[in-house]
Amino acid sequence: MTAPTNQASSTHEAVSQRVPLWRDAVVVKWMTQVTLLTLVLATLWFLASQAGDNLSARDIDIGFDFLERPPDIQLSEGIDTHPATGGRALWVGMVNTLRMAGAGIIFATLLGVVVGLSRLSNNWLIQRLGTIWVETLRNVPLLVQIIFYSSVLSTLPRVGLDTGPINGWLHISNKGLSIPRIFIADGFYQWAVVVLLGAIGARYVHKRRVHLHNETGANTSPILWALGTIVVFAIVGLFIHPAFSFIGPIMGAIAGLLDSLPVILPQVVLSAAAIFFAARWIRGFLADRRSAVGHLALSDDDYFRIIFAATAALIAVAILSMWSGFSSWLINSGTDLFEVIEDKFNADGAARPFDAMRPDIVKPGKFANYGTSGLTITIGFAAVFFGVVFYTSAFIGEIVRGGILAVPKGQIEAASAVGLSRAQSLRHIVLPQAFRIILPPLGNQYLNLTKNTSLAIAVGYSDIVQVGQTVYNQTGKTLPVVAIWMLFYLACSLTISVIVNYYNVRLKLVER
Of residues 22-51, those binding another protein (CB under 8 A): 22-29, 32-37, 39-40, 42, 46-47, 50-51
My answer on whether omega of the bond before 359 falls inside 30° of 0, hence cis, is: no
- What does the buried/exposed string (b/e) look like for 12-33 if buried means 16 or more CB atoms within 10 Å of the residue's CB? eeeeeeeeeeeeeeeeeeeeee
Side chain identity at residue 278, one-letter code: A
Position 465 contacts another protein (CB under 8 A)? yes
Nearer to another protein among residue 145 and residue 173 (C-beta): 145
Q: Find the helix or strand (DSSP H, E) in which 190 lies.
A: helix 188-216
Within 10 Å of residue 404's Cβ, how many Cβ atoms?
20
Q: Which of 161, 272, 318, 494 is close enough to bind another protein by CB under 8 A?
A: 494
Contacts of another protein in 392-431 (CB under 8 A): none
Residue 380 CB, shortest distance to another protein, in Å, is 14
Residue 264 vs residues 205, 259, 260, 322, 461: alpha-carbon distances, Å: 46, 13, 12, 11, 43
Position 140 contacts another protein (CB under 8 A)? yes
Q: Which of 378, 383, 386, 381 is nearest to 137 (CA)?
A: 386
Side chain identity at residue 137, one-letter code: L
Number of residues that bind another protein (CB under 8 A): 89
Residue 295 CB, shortest distance to another protein, in Å, is 7
Q: Which of 170, 75, 98, 182 is nearest to 360 (CA)?
A: 170
Contacts of another protein in 49-78 (CB under 8 A): 50-51, 54-55
The span of 12-20, 108-116, 202-210, 269-277 binding another protein (CB under 8 A) equals: 12-20
Q: Which of 81, 88, 99, 148 is close enough to bind another protein by CB under 8 A?
A: 148
Position 162 contacts another protein (CB under 8 A)? no
Residue 152 CB, shortest distance to another protein, in Å, is 6
- What is the C-alpha to C-alpha distance for residues 252 and 344, in angstroms, rounded to an integer? 11
Residue 473 CB, shortest distance to another protein, in Å, is 10
Q: Give the contact letters, 78-117, x = binds to another protein (CB under 8 A), - = no.
A: ----------------------------------------
Give the sign of the dihedral formed by CA 159, CA 161, CA 165, CA 166.
Answer: positive
Position 357 contacts another protein (CB under 8 A)? no
Q: CA angle, 382 as apex, 378 and 385 as ends, to 5°? A: 135
Burial degree of 37 (CB within 10 A; 0-12, 13-18, 19+): exposed
User: Which ranges in 217-323 belong to alpha helices (H)?
Assistant: 222-240, 247-259, 264-289, 300-322
Q: Which of 79, 84, 110, 144 is close enough to bind another protein by CB under 8 A?
A: 144
The span of 128-136, 250-258, 336-344, 413-421 binding another protein (CB under 8 A) equals: 128-136
Give the sign of the dihedral formed by CA 498, CA 500, CA 503, CA 509.
Answer: negative
Residue 462 CB, shortest distance to another protein, in Å, is 15
Q: Are 372 and 207 in contact (CB under 8 A)?
A: no
Nearer to another protein among residue 134 and residue 274 (C-beta): 134
Position 350 contacts another protein (CB under 8 A)? no
Nearer to another protein among residue 317 and residue 481 (C-beta): 481
Q: Which of 59, 61, 63, 125 is close enough to bind another protein by CB under 8 A?
A: 125
